[in-house]
Amino acid sequence: MKVSESLEDTVAAIATPVGTGGIGIIKISGPEAWPIGRQLFHSSGSSKAIQSHHLYHGHIIEPGTHRTVDEVLTCFMRGPATYTREDVVEINCHSGLAVLDRILELVIRAGARLAEPGEFTRRAFLNGRIDLTQAEAVLDLVSSKTRRSLHLASEHLKGSLQARINELRNHLLDTLAMVEASIDFPEEDLEILSEADLAARVRQHVEQPINKLLENYEDGRILREGLSVIIAGKPNVGKSSLLNNLLRSNRALVTPVPGTTRDVIEESLSLRGIPLRLVDTAGLRQPDDLVEKLGMEFTRERLSQADLVLFVLDRSSSLTSEDVQIYEDITSKPRVVVLNKIDLDPHQDFATFSERFPAETLVEISALYGNGMEQLKDAVFHTILGRRLDTETSVVAPNLRHKLCLERALDAVNRALQLLDRRSSAELIALEVQEALAHLGEIIGVTTTEDLLDQIFSQFCLGK
């Protein structure tokens, strides 16, 4: 997209999800938004005194034929007090594919063009209404799966991450000013901090905060993308019953026949506000046929990708060599040992399992009747989340782009600190500080490229 040309265009798109519903919205933004809206919209009252940011009742009328397309409510909004800071018209019509498509077609015939994915938000960024982190937060807000991920996206949309990055950049700008002053006025009697004092300030106000943001990256990833939780164990220990109980639906087939689950079954749920991708896998054992063998190959592949493993054992039976082998296969993963079937007479007491797995979190449940499920949910939360995740934090680096920019900025800061510690030339120190500033600026969009913007906004839907 050529930015100079695109901002001169007037663009339009359907801003609501496709499907039958009560209301659908056509959004128009750009210099010709009001003339296009006035051409198609016929107000039920006087159309001479249309005011900005007011809703008006009327109809969309086809030019030429004068046929009524739909009864609508239309809002005309003058920039810059709009989402894009441009003139905007929003047509609220009845939702239906034919209605929306017809009105959009008339809007395009009147002089608009179809908006590209994310173009409304891109215009909001290019026109200075939001920064790049807020633009990305719009996408996170739309795709939020839990209240906690919604909270994080809302905080970033309000500018919490932008404020933190600007704070870091201001400290670096102060540092750069001092360094450049020593370059420009070496003979002047200026009050410039010593190298040691300057390094101490950079460590406190820049290096440490960047490290904190990087430490919180995994928290942001979890809240944004969720965790992969694998239910593993030998056949007939109750893995599918556990899946069904957690989901509160009969998603997986449950029978007394070992090896019923031949494929991987994956579903999503929210646990204590954290999105989980819950995966029921084929029981691991010596396969009887090709289909079961393929199922177990899928299982081992998913185990290698898991964030957490629920290792299910039959509490009513003795441990077997299959159990031991599966346990050894998952020791590199965070895990919870689930002792299922406590509703049956135990073949071994709890102490036997506790002695065999002394370092593990053991939870006794009945997947069939639901006993112990709350204790299991607590164990899952604390095993991988509760020990580290600050679920109330409002400032994290939620995506990989932010993380990479922060890492590059930190590398430049560390090089500058090394130069300060060695009392190296001010010119070299200034170069490293400038590089750190550039990488931090890339996060909020102060320094960016057209290709990067295309990559970010291509992830958006057409109406946003």
Q: What is the pTM of this model?
A: 0.71
C-beta separation of 409 from 202 below 8 A: no
C-beta separation of 9 from 113 below 8 A: yes
C-beta separation of 399 from 136 below 8 A: yes
- Is CATH 3.40.50.800 the classification given to domain 228-386? no
Per-residue pLDDT at 261 exceeds 50: no
Which pLDDT tens digit goes with each residue over 138-160? 888 877 777 777 877 888 888 88
392, containing H or E segment: none
The band of 258, judged by pLDDT with boundaries at 50, 70 and 90, is very low
Per-residue pLDDT at 226 exceeds 90: no
- CA pair distance 123, 15, nearest whole angstrom: 15
Per-residue pLDDT at 260 exceeds 50: no
Length of the chain: 464
Q: What mean pLDDT is predicted for residues 402-408?
A: 94
What CATH number is given for 3-129 in this structure?
3.30.1360.120
With 0-12 CB in 10 A as exposed, 13-18 as middle and 19+ as buried, what is 371?
A: middle
Q: What mean pLDDT is predicted for residues 321-342?
A: 88
454 phi and psi angles, rounded to 5 deg: -60, -45
Q: In percent, how much of the chain has pLDDT > 70?
A: 86
User: Which of 274, 224, 283 lies closest to 255, judged by CA?
Assistant: 283
What CATH number is given for 138-216+396-444 in this structure?
1.20.120.430
Which pLDDT tens digit goes with each residue over 155-198? 888 888 999 999 999 999 999 988 887 775 555 544 556 788 88
Which pLDDT tens digit goes with each residue over 192-212? 567 888 899 999 999 999 998
What pLDDT does 390 receive?
52
- CA pair distance 286, 293, nearest whole angstrom: 8
Per-residue pLDDT at 10 exceeds 50: yes
The band of 4, judged by pLDDT with boundaries at 50, 70 and 90, is very low
Which pLDDT tens digit goes with each residue over 79-113? 999 999 999 999 999 988 899 999 999 999 999 99
What are the boundaries of each domain within the chain?
A: 3-129, 138-216+396-444, 228-386
Per-residue pLDDT at 27 exceeds 80: yes
